[in-house]
Copies of this chain bind each other. A is one copy, B any other.
Amino acid sequence: MQYPEAIAKLIESYSKLPGIGRKSATRLAFYTLGMSDDDVKNFARSLSASKSDLTFCRICGFITSKDDDPCVICSDESRDQSKIFVVENSQDEMAIENTHDYHGLYHVLNGVLSPMEGRGPEDINITSLITRLSDHSEVKEVIIGLDASTEGEATTLYLARLIRPSGIKVTRLARGLSVGTNVDYADQLTLTQAVNGRTEI
């Protein structure tokens, strides 16, 4: 026996989401039936709007409304124009913004280099970063804030090698113990990096 078409299609849509299998999709679909009409209507509307109303900022690549392109940060002249913080995606930019500690500009790669997934330099926002740097001589520092993974590492080194000849300072996020980490639980590489990067107190 098959479910009625309307719910079968909803299950299919849910199961296209990452990390959601057939069983979870079915559970979500039945949960949806019990949601208020308004909630479901808003959900459907925001799905459509996400495709029609959003774009990536034409300067930095951050997710932004089509009516706000360039994005709020690129348009904000009070921000420190001498620093560009390079991140993998909009969520990462949001995480840095939420520290309220950085007041420069950003550049969102929307990806990292990944030979495994066939993603090369032309597939992520690298060309636009280089153009941006050569067009804006006021930029004095590029901070690379990518994940501490193999791919993040490779992309960091690639970018550093690309930018350094221009004389712009290239920095990366510090490596060391996260808040709350016990020394004896930290992995070897993290400990080595923490020792090498020790700071005077």
Contact = CB atoms under 8 A, between A and B. Distances in A.
A18 interface: yes
A6 B52 CA distance: 9
Interface residues of A, dominant DSSP: helix
Contacts of A47: 10, 13, 32, 40, 43-44, 47
Contacts of A18: 27-28, 31
A13 B94 CA distance: 19
A91 to B, nearest CB: 6
Given A3-B63, A16-B35, A18-B27, A44 B48 contact: yes
A167 interface: no
Nearest to A13: B43
Contacts of A5: 53, 65
Interface of A: 1, 3-7, 9-10, 12-13, 16-19, 24, 26-33, 35, 37, 39-51, 53-54, 63-65, 68, 72-73, 89-91, 94, 97-98
